[in-house]
Amino acid sequence: MSGTIDVLISGVLLGIAATVIFDVWILLQKSLGLPALNFNFLGRWVANFKSLKFTHTAIKEAPKVKFELYVGIVAHYLIGIFIAFLLIMINGESWLKSPDVISAILIGIATVVFPLLIMQPAMGAGFSFLNTAHPIKNSLKSALNHTVFGGCLYLSGLLLAKLNF
C-alpha cells in the first residue's frame, strides 16, 4: 500500500515541480515581450464546465468568469500533474528512481495533441489553431512549449530522485 501512496505522492510532486519550472519558461517569454499562455482563458474555459458548456466560438470573447485566473492556474497545475502521471504510467515507477530525458521529452511532445486537437478547438481557435491568423506558428509554439515541459519533467525527476522521493 505504501508503494502506491509513494508513487502517487511522487507523481504529484513531479507534476508540480515540472509546472513550476515551466512557469519560469512562461515568465521568460513574457519578459522578452513574447505572447505566452493566458491562464484567464484557460480558467474561463474550465469554469464554464459547471454549466456544461465545453465549446466556445472564441474564448477571448466569452464573458469573463469570477476567479478565472485562479481557476486557470489550478487547471494548469492539474494538467502538469496529469502529464507527470502519464509519464509514470508509460515508463513505470522505475522512471522516478532513474529518470531519462528521452522519455520525458517524448511525453512532452506527445501531449501536444491535447491542445491541438481538444483544447484549442473547444476554445474556438480550431484544430491546430486553424481559426487563427498564424496556425502554423501557433502550432509550432505549442509543440515547443510541450517539448520544454518534457524537459521540465526530466529536471524535476532528477531533483526528486536526488532527494529520494
pLDDT tens digits for the chain (165 residues)?
A: 458 899 999 999 999 999 999 999 999 999 999 888 899 999 999 999 999 999 999 999 999 999 999 999 999 999 999 999 999 999 999 999 999 999 999 999 999 999 999 999 999 999 999 999 999 999 999 999 999 999 999 999 999 999 987
* Contact between residue 19 and residue 80 where contact means Cβ atoms under 8 Å apart: yes
CA torsion sign for 154, 113, 38, 144 is positive
The amino acid that residue 28 corresponds to is L
* Contact between residue 142 and residue 116 where contact means Cβ atoms under 8 Å apart: yes
**Rg (Cα) of the chain, in Å, rounded?**
16
Number of domains in the chain: 1
Taking the C-alpha atoms of residue 23 and residue 44, their distance in angstroms, rounded to an integer, is: 19
The reported pLDDT for the residue numbered 163 is 93
- Domain extent, residue 133, equals 2-162
**What angle do the packed helices 135-162 and 101-110 form, to 10 degrees?**
150
- Model pTM score: 0.93
Q: How many CB atoms lie within 10 A of CB 122?
A: 16
